[in-house]
Chains A and B, each alone.
Chain A
């Protein structure tokens, strides 16, 4: 039973445009959500997070939105750059801080 779902395996976006990556979750007890970025043959690196008590968190070109009633979060990257091409994992954490990952979305930034 997948608790964190990323339904789009891949996404292609023109350079300079906005990239929107989506994530849904099923467990209303999650109190922290994170996005990780991963390049091939490397470990994931933390990108941005949001507490369940907030609905938006912004860090430079990256903004995460949380809609608790819909159990949905999204990552917006604007403007998209070539170096943003990677796999993005949505993750959620509960009170014991174990992270549960989604399956990832591969983002391709097109020139």
Chain B
């Protein structure tokens, strides 16, 4: 079964620590995306990658970093520079050039800073 896997589902981090959220897809999609959801804020784009070894900042990239060494994987690191990291993080992917209805979303990771 093809899909996007985000792990872990719940993650706790101490203040000042970096943490990496995993996103893996076996859909052979070219493009991958990271969104953040806060209550009453909707989904905001953090980073996206159209092809391997290339990625661009989204609307709220500060305090985050990504890598795209493999087509299947797009991990997101939440660094200590992110002032308010507690949120629900969603990864998505699609075929590059496919219409906007081609996005597939993962089930999310809820990050809590303690």
Contacts and interface: CB of A to CB of B under 8 A. Distances in A.
A44 B41 CA distance: 14
Interface residues of B, number: 27
A99 B40 contact: no
A34 B101 contact: yes
A84 B59 CA distance: 30
A32 B99 contact: yes
Give the residue among B94, B100, B108 with the most A Cβ atoms within 10 A. B100
Interface string B34-56: 01000011111100100000000
Nearest to B94: A97
A27 interface: no
Interface string A84-111: 0000010101000111111110000000
A99 B107 contact: no
Interface string A18-45: 0000000000000010100000011111
A45 B90 CA distance: 12
25 contacts: A4-B42, A9-B40, A32-B100, A34-B101, A42-B107, A42-B108, A43-B4, A43-B92, A43-B106, A43-B108, A44-B43, A44-B90, A46-B101, A89-B43, A91-B100, A93-B99, A97-B94, A97-B100, A98-B48, A99-B100, A101-B42, A101-B44, A103-B40, A103-B41, A103-B42
